[in-house]
Structure formats: C-alpha cells, structure tokens
Amino acid sequence: MTLTLAVDAMGGDDAPGIVVSGLAIAAEKHPNLHFLVFGHQDQLNPLFDQHPLLSGRYTLTHCEVAISGDEKPANALRGGKRDSSMRRAIEAVKQGEAQAIISAGNTGALMALGKVLLRMVPGVDRPAIASPLPTAKGQSVVLDLGANVQCDERNLLQFAIMGALYARFLFGKDNPTIGLLNIGSEEQKGHEVLQVAADLMRDSASLPGAFAGFIEADDIAAGTTDVVVTDGFTGNVALKTTEGVGRLISGMVREAFRSGIFSRIGYLFAMPAMGRLRQRLDPRTYNGGMFLGLGGICVKSHGGTDDIGFANAVSVSVELMAGDFQTKIAQAIADNGDLFGLDTDAA
C-alpha cells in the first residue's frame, strides 16, 4: 500500500536542502512512501537532481511563497500567503491527496493553518504537540511541547486524554500512567490551574490511563510516568533543556576519551557501547512531534534539525499513517465524549 506524505519543503532553518536530503534518507527506509512536495521549483529541482533515489518518488508543486520562521501566525492566514508551501501542503491533506503533512517551519503558523484547514477533532479546544522522549525506562510521551503557551485546566485535561491515547498507540499499553508536571509532587504544590486540572483527572471515571498525580522535572528523564502533561511554554523549555543536556553529556564524554593515550585506547574497547549511548542521547533520534487534536495528521519537525533528524520525523509520519492513528484517536475521543463536553446521548 502506497502512503502519501505532503511536505512543506521551505520550512526550517536550513530548508530546502535538509528537507530534500532527509526525504532521500527516508525514501530508502520506506519504499512504499510517495512525497507531494511543495516549494520553489528553482531551488528544489537542483537538489532533487542530486538524489537519484528520489526519482519517481515525488511530485513537485511550485509555490512562490514561503512562511518565515518569524512570521506572525495571523499573517499566515492572509490572502498573500495562500500560495505558501505550508498552506498548500496542509490543503493536500484536507483534500485527501495525502494522508499526512510534515513541516519544519513556523510552529505558530502551522498550528493556525492546521486549525483552519483541517479543523479540530470534535470536543478538542486546542491542538498539542506530543512526542516520545527518551527516559531511563524507555520512552514517555510529553505534551504540550510548544503549541500553547498558556493553558487552562480544561486544556490540560484534554492533553492528558490525548496523550494517554497516543501512549496506547505507541507503547501498546492499555492503561498508561499520566503525570502532571509541577514544581513538586505534593498535592498542595502549584498554581490554581494545576490544582483544578489535577482534581479533574483524579475525578474522571473514563480517563484512558491512570493518573499518578503531580511529577517534577526530573521525573521526565526517570520515566516515572508514560505520559507527561504540561503547558506549551513549560514543555518547550523542558524539551530544549533535555536536548542541551544530551549534547553536553556527549561532548564531555568525547572530551574525556581524548584526554590521554590510555583514554583513547579505552575508547576503542568502548566504541560499541558509546555508539549506542550517542544514539540514545541524539535529539535527532526523537525528532518529529504530532499535533494531537487536529482533524488530520500533522507532524512538526524541529526547525534547526539536519537531514537525519528530518528523516526521523518522516518516519514518525509513516508510523502514524500506517497505524491509522487519526481514525483511532477520533473514535477514542468520541468514546470519552463526556470528558470533552460532547453530547454522548445524541443519536
């Protein structure tokens, strides 16, 4: 079965170069994948010529306009941006030409266009960026990673529900544990929104997971819960901190092994283990977060990633498309309609 992915080729710090190179890497890994690429043909055609593996694997649609990283989300919705590569890629999903869209571009613009064009899953107020992050126990789903700077208790409850459903999909756990990120694990800690959100989660009889209460920042790396719920401001800070610590540790280990002749000899014996550690700490391995709550699969790649990171984000898209995740999460939300304010008694 052929899967079709719409690609915003002009989004990201080093686009379109890393996008095309990333597609070439992903194409080798996923032979059943076809790309609908949207971007400026004068920039893209020479890049595609450098990757013969992509021959016959993509369809290019020329777009004169690209949405910059500092563009205000409202501007992305205006008439002058209707031919932007990001908008055209999202429209391909809306029109059923592709099963998912991927972009490394402006997060706010991607969310705004996604909400307008793909709409929201009934009952969900705001989409949240969710991604699995490495932990001492494997992986945990963390959300929101930057889509919503401010959230109320209802938003956090919805994030918990969607995050638990995503954890079920990724990890195969029927009853994933859910933690609400706070400055302490004690019940009296945190501001009023967190307190009310925790009460809603505790009192919910149909939460698709087990609420474990408040967790602290160090619980993310420890893997204390399968799902970590927070607002987009805090989540993005936690994500960037995790990535920075990973790079710091990798650099310090590399420096330690270069400190002397015996250290270098020791490195030769440790190379296989160091390779595995490097891969676990490499943020590119975990690149690609899904906008949970949109009426279509929309994957956000880090804007500053390279081709390997972008290829990994493409793999996230493939997993979601092949697993029919969008249909599953919409059905699961409908089944938990009382938590989302849906009329569950309607015919």
> Same domain for 165 and 72?
no
Of 74-88, 145-159, 247-261, 271-285, the one with minimum mean pLDDT is: 271-285
Domain with 24 in it: what CATH number?
Answer: 3.40.718.10
| Position 347 confidence tier, pLDDT thresholds 50, 70, 90 | very low
Say if CB 80 and CB 65 are below 8 A apart.
yes
> Same domain for 260 and 301?
no
> Same domain for 257 and 298?
no
> Same domain for 190 and 297?
no
Of 32-46, 68-82, 160-174, the one with minimum mean pLDDT is: 68-82
Q: What pLDDT, on the 0 to 100 scale, is given for residue 17?
A: 96
> Same domain for 150 and 209?
yes
**Number of folded domains that form the chain:** 2
The more confident residue out of 332 and 103 is 103
Is the pLDDT score of 105 beyond 50? yes
Is the pLDDT score of 280 beyond 80? no
Residue 255 has a CB neighbour count (10 Å cut-off) of 10
The range of the structural domain enclosing residue 176 comes to 126-284
Percentage of the chain lying above the pLDDT 90 cut: 63
Q: What pLDDT, on the 0 to 100 scale, is given for residue 84?
A: 95
> What are the distances in angstroms from CA 35 to CA 6, 14, 30, 113?
6, 19, 11, 20
Strand pairing class (227-229; 138-143) = parallel
| Position 251 confidence tier, pLDDT thresholds 50, 70, 90 | confident
Of 284, 312, 328, the last residue of a domain is 284
Is the pLDDT score of 235 beyond 60? yes
Q: What pLDDT, on the 0 to 100 scale, is given for residue 324?
A: 83
> Same domain for 184 and 238?
yes
Is the pLDDT score of 27 beyond 80? yes
What digits encode the pLDDT tens for the residues 116-143?
999 998 888 899 999 998 898 989 999 9
> Same domain for 140 and 112?
no
3-state DSSP assignment of residue 50: coil
> Same domain for 132 and 271?
yes
Of 284, 316, 331, the last residue of a domain is 284
Rounded Cα gap, residues 53 and 203, in angstroms: 54
Rounded Cα gap, residues 105 and 234, in angstroms: 21
Strand partners, 161: none
What digits encode the pLDDT tens for the residues 146-157?
999 999 999 999
Site of tokens 């390997």: 308
Q: Is the peptide bond before 16 cis (omega within 30 degrees of 0)?
A: yes
What digits encode the pLDDT tens for the residues 33-68?
999 999 999 999 999 999 999 999 999 999 999 999
Residue 299, H or E segment: strand 297-300
> Same domain for 24 and 88?
yes
> Same domain for 211 and 347?
no
Taking each continuous run of H as one helix and of E as one strand, the counts in the chain are 12, 11
> Same domain for 274 and 242?
yes
Is the pLDDT score of 282 beyond 80? no
Residue 100: DSSP 8-state: E
What digits encode the pLDDT tens for the residues 201-217?
998 877 889 999 999 99
Of 266, 284, 302, the last residue of a domain is 284
Rounded Cα gap, residues 76 and 92, in angstroms: 17
pTM, two decimal places = 0.87
> Same domain for 53 and 150?
no
Of 41-55, 166-180, 185-199, 317-331, the one with minimum mean pLDDT is: 317-331
Rounded Cα gap, residues 101 and 89, in angstroms: 6
Say if CB 121 and CB 333 are below 8 A apart.
yes
